[in-house]
Each structure stands twice: as C-alpha cells, then as structure tokens.
Amino acid sequence: MHTASEWKKKGADVARQGAVELDLPSGMKILARRPGPGDLAIWGGLPLSLATAAAKETNPASMSDRDLLDTAGFMRDLLVYCVLEPRISLSPGPEEIHPHDIPSEDWQFIVSWAMRAEEARTLESFRGRRPDGGDSGDGQSVLDQTF
C-alpha cells in the first residue's frame, strides 16, 4: 500500500514530464501543463469554443449568480492546475502566488491556452455554415416509415 504523499509525488512527476514553458503577455515565463479533454469533462468544463457557442444561445446577462460563481471557480481551479512553477495557491507561501496577484492579461492567456482557444479558432472555417438551418423545401421526401 502506498501513501497519499507518494501518490501526490508521482502525480507531480507525471505533470512535469508533459509541462511546457509559456511566455506570458506580462513578460513572465512559467512552467505549465495543459488539461486534456477528459480532465475538462470530469471537472465539468467546456472548451472555450463550445462555451462561446452555448453563450450565443443564451443571453449572458441572464446567467445566474451561481453560474457566474461556478465559472469563476472553474477558471481559478484551472489556473491552479495548469501552472506548475511558480505555484498558484489560495494561501500562498513565499514562493507561491495568489490568483488575485496575477495580471488579468496573464490569467486570460493561460486559460485560453489551457482551453485550446486558438486551435478551436483555426477550425471555425473548416466547415461552412448555412445562414438559415430552416426548411430547405426538401422535407416532403422524408417519410415516417421505413421500407
């Protein structure tokens, strides 16, 4: 049987293996890891492209206070997960930083990078969209019963 601290250390080792150096807009350089789609699904997060599409269907001003708090908490947790060096902490020690102390352009860059926003943008023109997804006049050929 292994201890929790051993498991935590193994997890940290694995995280560092897949980490990359990121140059932030402020000029800072950090060591960060990017969550996979499975991680985001487990945490209940959507890739930005899907979240944006969902937001277009709903008026963002109609989001409840709970939804706004959940989104803010998700982004905070995402920052804590992604940034390996320097560590982000809600109760920082001398070599750690609190999320409130991170410049907004830096945390927005990190969240965008983590959620693969740039990659999603490159796929927007991949498949053309019809301006109107309504009736195209060919519905009469669709039958209720199969033959």
Tell me what pLDDT residue 57 has.
47
Under 8 Å between Cβ of 24 and 106: yes
Q: Residue 71 falls within a domain, yes or no?
A: yes
* Domain extent for 55: 16-123
Tell me the C-alpha distance between 93 and 40, whole Å: 28
Q: Residue 113 falls within a domain, yes or no?
A: yes
- Convert the pLDDT of each residue in 59-91 to its tens digit: 556 667 777 787 788 888 889 999 999 999 999
Q: Residue 8 falls within a domain, yes or no?
A: no
Q: Residue 36 falls within a domain, yes or no?
A: yes
Q: Residue 146 falls within a domain, yes or no?
A: no
Residue with tokens 């250390």: 9
Number of domains in the chain: 1
Q: Say how many Å lie between the first and final Cα of the chain, rounded.
A: 61
- Convert the pLDDT of each residue in 7-45 to its tens digit: 989 888 888 888 999 999 999 999 999 988 777 777 766
- Convert the pLDDT of each residue in 80-125 to its tens digit: 999 999 999 999 999 999 999 999 999 999 988 988 877 666 665 6
**Where does the pLDDT of residue 131 fall: very low under 50, low under 70, confident under 90, or very high at 90 and above?**
low
List, edge to edge, every strand of the sheet that includes 20-23: 20-23, 29-32, 83-85
Of 4 and 58, the one with more pLDDT = 4
Q: Residue 3 falls within a domain, yes or no?
A: no
Q: Residue 136 falls within a domain, yes or no?
A: no
